[in-house]
Amino acid sequence: MMLLARASAGLIFWAFGFSVLYGLHGIGCAYGWPSTEVGGGNLFRWVMVASWLLLCAGGAALIWLAKAAPSGLERRLSLTSAVVGCAATFVTGLPVAVTSACV
Amino acid sequence: MSALSRHRALTAIWGSPRGWRGTVSSVNHSDIGRRFILAAFAFFAIGGVLAMLIRAQLATPGSAFVGPEIYNQLFTMHGSIMMFLFAIPMFEGLALYLLPKMLGSRDMAFPRLSAYGWWCYVFGGSILIAALALGVAPDSGWFMYTPLSSKAYTPGINADVWLLGITFVEISAVSAAIEITVSILRLRAPGMRLDRMPLLAWYLLVTALMMVVAFPPLILGSILLEVERAFGWPFFDPLRGGSPLLWQHLFWLFGHPEVYIIFLPAAGVVSTVLPVMARTRILGYGWIVAALLALAFLSFGLWVHHMFTTGIPHMALGFFSAASALVAVPTALQIFAWIGTLWKGRPELKLPMLYLLGFFVIFVLGGLTGVMLAMVPFDWQAHDTHFVVAHLHYVLVGGFVFPMLAGAYYWLPHFTGRARIPLLGEAAFWLILIGFNLTFFLMHLTGLLGMPRRIYTYPSDMGWTWLNLLSSVGSFIMAFGFAMFAVDVALQIFLSRRARRNPWGAHTLEWAMPLPAPAYNFASQPRVADGEPLAADPDLPLRLARGEGYLAEIRHGWRETMAVDVTTGAVDHVIILPGNTRLPIITALATGCFFLALLFGFYWLAPLPLVAVTVLGWRWAWTLGWREEIGPVPIGAGETALTHREAAGAPGWWGSVFLLVADGTLLGSLLFGYAFLWVVAPNWPPPELIAAGLPQGAVAALAALAGTVLTRLAASAGVAGNNAASSRWASLAVGAQAVVIAALLWLGLAELPAPTGHAYAASSWAMIAYGVLHAFIALLCAAFIRARIASGHIRKGRVLETSVAQLFGDYAGLATWLILACVLAPLVLA
């Protein structure tokens, strides 16, 4: 089962990050975070961008950890999963930096 | 023992009685798999006839062929049948029939569960078809959006037929998913490491795992909508704090992964058949496995792209649009691997290859229009037009039907033991290909010209007339093609000459047996040392028939098959499978009575079949196992292994784990719904919140903790052989779970507002009901342990039953704590 766990780890991490961003988006909009000014921006944008960058960093750390998997199919799947997870976290989270918040 | 005597003895053990007795009692995977495939094809034919009626109606503007009421039923049933009664069951049938053969096993892990799933499928499907014949079929579209499907706008039983009939059928899908997962992980030939598995097994494993987590949101949505319709609990009614968008979220949380659940098994067929047709090995085995894992996960992040026009904020649209575009990458990787395989090999243009080429063309076109629709601005223009209808048919027919037709021609000799009659299949292929493209390519254009979906007629001055007429002509050409395919198959079954063994020169294990396949698959099970066993050892079939593999010895009339370590494929233990029984059909009938009682509004009667299902479930578990000590048994090659009752990690434990994963997903979906309503739904906060209840909550929480601990103590005492202590702990666990049930009900009845007033109360009550049900299941498990100790079935070293009871005890405790946290949160936070 370790093979399957390692092969899924990066993708599970993406799923977790995706859920966190979507959940924070719903909560932030419901509780009016975009109208709270903080440090030259609004609370909503700060929270979203910070969460996204943290998640990307977590994804990168997983790639580093995946290199320790046993060689062969297990390492290939672990590494691919981690790289895909990290890249997907970056791409699917990108809207937090470029789109309007709650409209 | 000679090969012939072994064949006769094994057939007597694994076969089914002739006539109706065999029909109702067989649990053999080949029988059940064949039935699934035949029934799915029959439903496909019904769905196809409905499509013909739809196209007849749309062939000309202002047609009076059918009215809007009938037309609504036609397109709803066409979609529902094709998705729930054809595509999923067809792949289940293929998996049930083929998997043990490809994995070098003799059967699936839970033969009675396969049979139960089969009967649920056929009974549930029959309810839907009967409703169609009686003119009361579902008519709100195959995704049953509220409020159209709510009581106010669908007052008849049409929507109930869908909600209850489909949920009944979904029992079969979840059963199959658990069955397939555990079978692939544990029931392989010794030596078959995960990286030596046939690619189809990888595809089916990933698909089954997706089903375990994709179906529960829809099951939950169906339960909630049915409860709203039946009892007025307003989960989806915005006037009372509900939200129609909650239904869409729950539906598409299932609905989008469903597309990949349908595509992946067919892609597995492509990865199996294509290298054989190209006379080479598949290119990029590891990359394909990685791609399908990525595809499986990413497919769960796309569901909102079906809701782009519901007013969701741009940022959320961006998340899902990006994920929708991203999913094309692993899909493309597989396409390139297949093209590379063709490039590397020496392809032969045999009939399965023709269908694979058709698949390439159609599926790639469907994928490209999918990327177009993933872009929000384009989706806003094309949403709910015939462009979407064209896209989804290109993806589903291209991605499922064409590969399955390739697979049908590839494996038909395995099913029938006969060769195909030349040319008829080729003619059918061209009719299907030309008819399909004529029908659906033009539909892109009608969509781009603005023709909406689900309209029963249109005026003649819209410019859609000739396109629709040609589409209808194309659909009838396609229907002729499918009819010709059916005739071709019938001729092969009844008239054709016998096929030789392994007619394609394939290298996977399903071809290492006589054709048609015997009931036991392998006279002895192989040891696998290569990803393509027949390439590495062409004499393997002969040696297996001579009994030179595992489990060649026949003893006690047992149905034996090997279980292996998940990753390494090392010998782990011997599984003794249950034989033919009528329990599955009787349990399915009782289950069906429950659904029928709800359908006809006899709510007072519904508990009776539930009690019957509980009693049958108890009987189901009770008839397994034995009192005697068995110990290690010889398995061949001078090796011995324990039987599954005495070994850790038996299939029953694994099956329970995956069942609880599905169950946990349902609970997660319920908690998501609760949170979603709090954050998004109108008319919140509710007029009345929970005002007290901490004492009841504390009692429930402590009793849940006690129930979990006591079940664990009972389990460990039972395994240690301390029967008196185990029995005592189990009795106390029963008591603790009874206290949980009482405390939860007390909390709900005394402190929660009436569930009909507001979605908050309805959601809270739904969580309480979930907790009560699971405490009751844990209670039954503890009671079962106590009874089995008394009967002598549980003794020192027997871990299976106690470990399963422990799983359910742990889960019930965890669920109760989570539910209490959510129900009491408004009180604590206030």
pLDDT bucket at B244, cuts 50 / 70 / 90: very high
The answer to whether residues B599 and B707 belong to one domain is no
H/E stretch holding B732 reads: helix B723-751
Q: Is B300 part of the contact surface with chain A (CB cutoff 8 Å)? A: yes
Q: Residue B357: what pLDDT? A: 97
Q: Residue A71: what pLDDT? A: 87
Rounded CA separation B827/B830 (Å)? 5
Crossing angle of helices B199-231 and B158-186, in 10° steps, is 150
Q: Residue B230: what pLDDT? A: 96
> Do residues B103 and B188 touch, judged by C-beta distance below 8 A?
yes
Q: Residue B795: what pLDDT? A: 81
Q: Residue B738: what pLDDT? A: 98
* Residue B592: inside a domain: yes
Beta strands in A1-103 (DSSP E): 37-38, 41-42
**To the nearest whole percent, how much of chain B has pLDDT over 70?**
100
Average pLDDT over every residue of B477-500: 94
Q: Residue B544: what pLDDT? A: 95
The answer to whether residues B618 and B743 belong to one domain is no
pLDDT bucket at B474, cuts 50 / 70 / 90: very high
Average pLDDT over every residue of B758-786: 97
- Residue A2: closest CA among chain B residues belongs to which residue? B567
Q: Distance of alpha carbon B245 from its chain centroid, rounded?
A: 25
Q: Residue B646: what pLDDT? A: 85
- State which of B416, B440, B460 marks the end of a domain: B416
Q: Residue B115: what pLDDT? A: 97
Beta strands in B620-665 (DSSP E): 633-636, 639-641
The answer to whether residues B606 and B691 belong to one domain is no
Question: How many C-beta atoms lie closer than 10 Å to residue B28's C-beta?
Answer: 27
The answer to whether residues B276 and B130 belong to one domain is yes
The answer to whether residues B600 and B726 belong to one domain is no
* Residue B733: inside a domain: yes
Q: Distance of alpha carbon B795 from its chain centroid, rounded?
A: 36
Distances (CA, A) of B577 to A26, B30, B346, B613, B727: 49, 15, 43, 22, 28
Min distance B619 CA to chain A CA atoms (Å): 32
The answer to whether residues B154 and B239 belong to one domain is yes
Over residues B94-127, the pLDDT tens digits come to 999 999 999 999 999 999 999 999 999 999 999 9
* Residue B569: inside a domain: no
Q: Is A101 part of the contact surface with chain B (CB cutoff 8 Å)? A: yes
Residue type, B668: G
Contact assignment for B293 to A11 by CB distance below 8 Å:
yes
Split into its structural domains, chain B has a count of: 3
Closest Cα to residue B785, out of B574, B625, B610? B625
For A:28-57, CB contacts with B below 8 A are 29-30, 48
What tokens appear for B355 in the block?
Answer: 């269908």
Using the predicted structure, report yes or no on whether residue B649 has a pLDDT greater than 90: no
What tokens appear for B557 in the block?
Answer: 């009339």
Predicted ipTM > 0.90:
yes
Average pLDDT over every residue of B565-584: 94
The answer to whether residues B349 and B206 belong to one domain is yes
Using the predicted structure, report yes or no on whether residue B717 has a pLDDT greater than 90: yes
Question: How many C-beta atoms lie closer than 10 Å to residue B682's C-beta?
Answer: 12
Phi-psi group of B311: left, alpha or beta (phi > 0 → left; psi -120 to 50 → alpha; rest → beta): left
Using the predicted structure, report yes or no on whether residue B550 has a pLDDT greater than 90: yes
Nearest 5°: phi and psi at B737? -65, -35
Rounded CA separation B479/B70 (Å)? 21
Least confident range of A43-52, B301-310, B333-342, B737-746: B301-310
Contact assignment for A92 to B323 by CB distance below 8 Å:
yes
Min distance A85 CA to chain B CA atoms (Å): 8
Q: Distance of alpha carbon B644 from its chain centroid, rounded?
A: 26
- Residue B195: closest CA among chain A residues belongs to which residue? A73
* Residue B256: inside a domain: yes
Show residues of chain A in contact with B301, CB under 8 Å: 14-15, 18, 88, 92
Q: Residue B160: what pLDDT? A: 97
Average pLDDT over every residue of B725-731: 95
Min distance B297 CA to chain A CA atoms (Å): 6
Min distance A65 CA to chain B CA atoms (Å): 17
Using the predicted structure, report yes or no on whether residue B464 has a pLDDT greater than 80: yes
Using the predicted structure, report yes or no on whether residue B648 has a pLDDT greater than 90: no
- State which of B573, B604, B622 marks the end of a domain: B622
Using the predicted structure, report yes or no on whether residue A73 has a pLDDT greater than 90: no
- State which of B385, B416, B447 marks the end of a domain: B416
> Residues, chain B, total?
830
B300 closest CB neighbour out of A15, A21, A73: A15
Per-residue b or e along B160-196, where b marks 16 or more CB atoms closer than 10 Å to that residue's CB? bbbbbbbbbbbbbbbbbbbbbbbbbbbbbbbbbbbbb
Q: Residue B721: what pLDDT? A: 87
According to DSSP, the β-strands at B559-564 and A41-42 are unpaired
Min distance B182 CA to chain A CA atoms (Å): 12
Rounded CA separation B591/B597 (Å)? 10
* Residue B115: inside a domain: yes
DSSP letter for each residue of B95-125: HHHHHHHHHT-SS-S-HHHHHHHHHHHHHHH
The answer to whether residues B183 and B268 belong to one domain is yes
Average pLDDT over every residue of B305-315: 91
* Residue B476: inside a domain: no
Show residues of chain A in contact with B317, CB under 8 Å: 95, 99
* Residue B519: inside a domain: no
Most confident of B442-451, B547-556, B675-684: B442-451
Per-residue b or e along A54-69, where b marks 16 or more CB atoms closer than 10 Å to that residue's CB? ebbeebeebbeebeeb
Q: Is B672 part of the contact surface with chain A (CB cutoff 8 Å)? A: no
What lies within 8 Å, CB to CB, of B628 at 6+ separation is none
Closest Cα to residue A12, out of B287, B814, B294? B294
Q: Residue B750: what pLDDT? A: 95
Contact assignment for B322 to A1 by CB distance below 8 Å:
no
Over residues B575-590, the pLDDT tens digits come to 999 999 999 999 999 9
Average pLDDT over every residue of B771-792: 95
CATH value at residue B792: 1.20.120
Nearest 5°: phi and psi at B491? -65, -40
**To the nearest whole percent, how much of chain B has pLDDT over 90?**
91
Average pLDDT over every residue of B421-428: 93
CATH value at residue B195: 1.20.210.10
Show residues of chain B in contact with A73, CB under 8 Å: 194-195, 286, 289
Closest Cα to residue B605, out of B597, B616, B613, B596? B597
Closest Cα to residue B634, out of B642, B645, B623, B626? B642
pLDDT bucket at A72, cuts 50 / 70 / 90: confident
What lies within 8 Å, CB to CB, of B541 at 6+ separation is B501, B502, B511, B512, B513, B534
Rounded CA separation B788/B800 (Å)? 12
Contact assignment for A21 to B319 by CB distance below 8 Å:
yes
Q: Is B662 part of the contact surface with chain A (CB cutoff 8 Å)? A: no
DSSP B306: G
Min distance A28 CA to chain B CA atoms (Å): 10
pLDDT bucket at B627, cuts 50 / 70 / 90: confident
Over residues B60-92, the pLDDT tens digits come to 999 999 999 999 999 999 999 999 999 999 999
> Do residues A15 and A83 touch, judged by C-beta distance below 8 A?
no
Location of structure tokens 């998640």: A55
**Residue range(s) defining the domain that contains residue B353:** 32-416
Average pLDDT over every residue of A71-84: 92
> Do residues B783 and B730 touch, judged by C-beta distance below 8 A?
yes
Average pLDDT over every residue of B219-224: 97
Distances (CA, A) of B549 to B9, B104, B187: 16, 11, 15
The answer to whether residues B278 and B374 belong to one domain is yes
* Residue B402: inside a domain: yes
The answer to whether residues B603 and B690 belong to one domain is no
Using the predicted structure, report yes or no on whether residue A1 has a pLDDT greater than 80: no
The answer to whether residues B212 and B129 belong to one domain is yes
Question: How many C-beta atoms lie closer than 10 Å to residue B155's C-beta?
Answer: 10
Q: Residue B699: what pLDDT? A: 97
Over residues A9-41, the pLDDT tens digits come to 999 999 999 999 999 999 999 899 999 988 888
Mean residue pLDDT across chain B: 95
Using the predicted structure, report yes or no on whether residue B631 has a pLDDT greater than 90: no
> Between these two residues, B441 and B421, which has the higher pLDDT value?
B441
The answer to whether residues B223 and B311 belong to one domain is yes
Over residues B328-386, the pLDDT tens digits come to 999 999 999 999 999 999 999 999 999 999 999 999 999 999 999 989 999 999 999 99
pLDDT bucket at B719, cuts 50 / 70 / 90: confident
Average pLDDT over every residue of B747-767: 97
